[in-house]
């Protein structure tokens, strides 16, 4: 975790501890996001929103649980960090009521290694680290299947688990770990499946460094999310328009050079 993320996370915890609620001054809009690329994209649209009378306050998190809980509890207005499969699983397991508002970008999940230069070099008995929550874990297994390392009983199930592996010809050993910790495991495992936001934060270049990566047709779009009905809030309408504008599309394409792909 970099210094900026640490400071922002501590600030957020302090805010939550004080029992902060959504701001209803008609101007301030709070949004939960992970540092890279979400907070960076949001920073790029702050001047545009300011001209439209919206004071965008970005709360940076380094996990995928607290942002949704804070929005559900009306501590924060909206979030921007997750895919619909993740949100669906989160709502089902936590009893939350969040909905997607608008898709913005795709972060292709990639397979990374410090030990090997290609998927073909992955040895028998290799240790493979994948995210430990159902949506991203299933996503990782789908990518490993596409790379030819395993097959799944249902080759299209986005919530496949380790129990759904049909064949594992290289006898890979799997470790299920929290997504944010995966970049730090690269020196200890043969292969790690890492979400692009965490990869970028760890100074990995998905286009250059990933041994296998999702393509532009990935269904895992990152959405702006909130409680039902709040998508009609004029501040949120302006936020979504700015995020899906030609200027933001250009920013994503030029700033991330294929590591993040516009989804509009």
Q: Which of residues 206 and 18 earns the better pLDDT score?
A: 206
Using the predicted structure, report yes or no on whether residue 5 has a pLDDT greater than 60: no
Task: Summarize the confidence of residues 135-152 as an average pLDDT.
Answer: 96
The model's confidence at residue 54, banded by pLDDT at 50, 70 and 90, is very high
For residue 210, what are its two tokens?
């990933």
Strand stretches in the chain, DSSP E: 28-34, 55-61, 78-83, 99-106, 110-112, 127-131, 151-152, 165-167, 173-177, 191-194, 212-213, 221-226, 261-262
Cα of 70 vs its chain's centroid, Å: 17
* % the chain with pLDDT above 70: 91
How far is 180 from 194, CA to CA, in rounded Å? Answer: 8
The pLDDT tens digits for 66-98 are 999 999 999 999 999 999 999 999 999 999 999
Residue-wise pLDDT tens digits, 161-172: 999 999 999 999
Are β-strands 127-131 and 99-106 bridged in parallel, bridged antiparallel, or unpaired? unpaired
| Cα 237–Cα 243–Cα 248 angle in degrees, nearest 5 | 150
Q: Is the pLDDT of residue 20 over 70?
A: no
pLDDT value at position 218? 81
Three-state secondary-structure class, residue 137: helix
Question: What percentage of residues in the chain have a pLDDT greater than 90?
Answer: 83
For residue 224, give both structure tokens: 């702006």
Tell me the average pLDDT of the chain: 91
Q: Which two tokens stand for residue 80?
A: 């921007």
Distances (CA, A) of 90 to 10, 33, 97, 136, 156: 24, 16, 9, 12, 20
Question: Hey, is 221 helix, strand or coil?
Answer: strand
CA separation for the pair 69, 112 (Å, rounded): 30
pLDDT at 30: 98
């Amino acid at each position: 975790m970099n210094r900026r993320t640490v400071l922002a996370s501590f600030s957020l915890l302090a805010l939550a501890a004080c029992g902060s609620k959504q701001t209803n001054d008609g101007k301030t809009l709070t949004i939960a996001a992970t540092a890279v690329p979400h907070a960076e994209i949001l920073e790029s649209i702050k001047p545009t929103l300011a001209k439209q009378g919206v004071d965008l306050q970005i709360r940076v998190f380094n996990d995928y649980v607290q942002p949704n809980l804070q929005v559900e509890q009306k501590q924060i207005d909206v979030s921007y960090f997750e895919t619909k499969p993740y949100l669906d699983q989160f709502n089902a397991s936590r009893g939350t009521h969040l909905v997607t508002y608008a898709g913005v970008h795709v972060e292709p999940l990639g397979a990374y290694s410090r030990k090997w230069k290609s998927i073909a070099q992955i040895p028998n008995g290799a240790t493979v680290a994948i995210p430990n929550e159902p949506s991203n874990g299933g996503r990782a297994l789908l990518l490993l299947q596409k790379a030819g390392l395993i097959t799944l009983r249902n080759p299209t199930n986005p919530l496949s688990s380790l129990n759904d592996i049909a064949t594992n010809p290289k006898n890979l050993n799997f470790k299920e770990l929290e997504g944010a910790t995966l970049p730090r495991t690269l020196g200890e495992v043969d292969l790690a499946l890492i979400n692009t936001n965490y990869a970028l934060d760890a100074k990995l270049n998905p286009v250059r460094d990933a041994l296998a990566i999702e393509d532009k047709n990935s269904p895992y779009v990152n959405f702006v999310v909130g409680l039902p009905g709040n998508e009609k809030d004029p501040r949120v309408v302006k936020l979504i328009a700015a995020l899906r504008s030609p200027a933001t599309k250009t920013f994503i394409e030029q700033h991330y050079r294929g590591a993040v792909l516009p989804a509009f």
